[in-house]
C-alpha cells in the first residue's frame, strides 16, 4: 500500500450473514460496492486523566476521509478474530503494541448502514499516552479530549465526525465505558 492510498483493493474480508456467521470471502472493493455484511473493530483509548484519543482519518481514505473517528478502527481480515484485528490495527495505525488482554470488549454492535454494513466489536484501552507512529495513509492526526467534550463537539458539528463514531457513541456499552450518561 502506498502512502497516497488509504486502503488496498487487494484486502480480503469474510462476508457474514445476519447472525455474523462467515458465509464467504470477498475483496474489499466488492464488499463495499455491494454493501455486503462484514466485520470491523473500534478501539476507544482512555488515558489516566480520562481523555479520549480521537483519530482524524487520512484524507486518502475512501470512506469518511478527514473525519474524526474512534482512537483506532479497522476491518477484520478474512480468517482473523476481532481481537486479533484490534491489536493489529493499533500497531498499524498508531504504532502501539498491546497484548489482547489489554483490550476490554465494551460493545458488540449489530450490522447497520451507519456502520458501513459492519458488525462492530468495540474495545476499551486504558493506558497512558505514548509516542505514536501514525500511518499517514490511515491517520492524519490524533486529538485528546474528554468524552463529554467529544459529545458536545459532535452535537455542535456532526459533519466533523464519521458516521460510525456517531453511531457507536450512542450505544449504551460505549457510553458506559467512557463515563457518559
State the first-to-last Cα distance of the chain, in angstroms, to the nearest integer: 41
Q: Which domains does the chain have, with CATH numbers?
A: 12-176 (3.90.79.10)
Question: What gap in Å lies between CA 133 and CA 161, rounded to an integer?
Answer: 22
Q: Which triple of cell numbers denotes residue 20?
A: 455474523
- Three-state DSSP at 89 gives helix
Residue 127 banded pLDDT, cuts 50, 70, 90: very high
In tens, the pLDDT along 81-111 reads: 999 999 999 999 999 999 999 999 999 999 9
- Residue 155: strand, helix, or coil: helix
Whether residue 10 is predicted with pLDDT greater than 90 in this model: the reply is: no
| CB proximity list for 92: less than 8 A, separation 6 or greater | 74, 135, 138
Q: Read off the pLDDT of residues 129-163 as tens digits, 9 standing for 90 and up.
A: 989 999 999 999 999 999 999 999 999 999 999 99
Cell 504504532: give the residue: 95
d(CA 84, CA 167): 23
Amino acid at each position: 500500500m502506498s502512502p497516497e492510498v488509504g486502503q488496498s483493493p487487494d484486502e480480503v474480508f469474510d462476508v457474514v450473514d445476519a447472525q455474523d456467521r462467515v458465509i464467504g470471502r470477498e475483496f474489499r472493493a466488492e464488499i463495499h460496492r455491494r454493501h455486503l455484511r462484514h466485520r470491523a473493530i473500534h478501539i476507544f483509548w482512555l488515558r489516566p486523566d480520562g481523555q479520549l484519543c480521537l483519530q482524524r482519518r487520512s484524507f486518502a481514505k475512501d470512506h469518511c476521509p478527514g473525519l474524526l473517528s474512534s482512537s483506532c478502527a479497522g476491518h477484520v481480515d478474512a480468517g482473523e478474530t476481532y481481537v486479533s484485528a484490534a491489536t493489529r490495527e493499533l500497531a498499524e495505525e498508531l504504532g502501539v503494541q498491546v497484548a489482547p488482554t489489554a483490550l476490554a470488549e465494551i460493545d458488540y454492535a449489530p450490522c447497520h448502514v451507519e456502520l458501513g454494513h459492519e458488525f462492530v466489536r468495540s474495545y476499551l484501552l486504558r493506558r497512558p499516552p505514548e509516542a505514536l507512529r501514525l500511518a499517514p495513509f490511515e491517520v492524519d492526526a490524533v486529538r485528546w479530549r474528554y468524552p463529554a467534550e467529544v459529545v458536545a463537539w459532535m452535537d455542535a458539528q456532526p459533519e466533523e465526525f464519521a458516521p460510525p463514531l456517531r453511531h457507536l457513541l450512542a450505544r449504551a456499552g460505549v457510553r458506559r465505558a467512557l463515563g457518559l450518561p
